[in-house]
Amino acid sequence: MITTLVGKKAPAFKASAVAFGDQIINDFSLEQYIGKKYVVFFFYPKDFTFVCPTELHAFQDALAEFEKRNVALVACSTDTEQSHWGWLQMAKEQGGIKGITYPIVADTTKMISINYGVLSGEYKMDAQGKLTAEGDTIAFRGLFLIDKKGLVRHMLVNDLPLGRNVDEAIRMVDALQFNEEVGEVCPANWRKGEKGMEGSHAGTAKYLAAQK
């Protein structure tokens, strides 16, 4: 069954993460941001690969733009926190991600990827609730924009070879904040500074009213 998380609470989790480039944090959770910040939570397939560092560095290069919009950036893959830490010590010129400061979550159980609907490969849960898989199961390039109430407002999932556009992630943050602040909706290709449109789809209006 194909499902969407848009309009629903972002799945909660606690896991190890590496932040500020070298600090391992136990029991990291997105719940720390509820009521305080928006979150762009994005998954990537694997440490020590080729496309992934281009995305991680691109998000880091845009970190000031996200922070200016009160957005916390958080990355996640199914690698261990030790793997994250090791990759963070490698220079960019060597294929590493040294200089990345936002948290990188270690989804070692792969349950975070499952709950966000981004785990690739063939897998199932056995009668004891243990994950069994055939072949390599890693995360697709999923991205989730979570508002300050903890609701998913936008999601994007790319196949493994397809890198994302960081400017589009920023545009979606701008669109969400414009809608919240002004009450108007955003037409196709809307960008910050442009006019919105009055009125909204009845379902959207009902949804927004329910959040008040």
The Cα 202–Cα 169 span in angstroms is 26
- Tokens 């959040």 sit on residue: 211
- Band (pLDDT 50/70/90 cuts) for residue 203 is very low
Q: What pLDDT shows up at residue 199?
A: 62
β-partners of residue 112 are: none
CB atoms within 10 A of CB 212: 4
CA nearest 150: which of 58, 25, 36? 36
CATH number given to 15-162: 3.40.30.10
CA nearest 142: which of 74, 94, 209? 74
Burial of 188 (0-12, 13-18, 19+ CB in 10 A): exposed
- Band (pLDDT 50/70/90 cuts) for residue 123 is confident
76 is catalytic: no
In the chain, what percentage of residues exceed pLDDT 70?
A: 91
Q: Is the pLDDT of residue 211 over 70?
A: no
Is the CB of residue 149 less than 8 Å from the CB of residue 168?
A: no
Q: What pLDDT shows up at residue 132?
A: 74
Q: What pLDDT shows up at residue 26?
A: 96
Q: Is the pLDDT of residue 25 over 70?
A: yes
96-to-44, 61, 168 alpha-carbon distances in Å: 14, 15, 24
- How is residue 202 written in tokens? 């009845």
Q: Where exactly are the structural domains of the chain?
A: 15-162
Angle formed at CA 151 by CA 145 and CA 157, multiple of 5 degrees: 40
Give the pLDDT mean for 4-25. 97
- How is residue 80 written in tokens? 């261990």
Q: Is the pLDDT of residue 98 over 80?
A: yes
The Cα 125–Cα 1 span in angstroms is 16
Report the Cα 28 to chain-centroid distance in Å: 14
131-175 pLDDT tens trace: 776 767 999 999 999 999 999 999 999 999 999 999 999 999 999
- Tokens 């697709």 sit on residue: 140
Is the CB of residue 74 less than 8 Å from the CB of residue 88?
A: no
Q: What pLDDT shows up at residue 131?
A: 73
5, 18, 30, 52: the catalytic one is: 52
- How is residue 104 written in tokens? 């990188």
42-51 pLDDT tens trace: 999 999 999 9
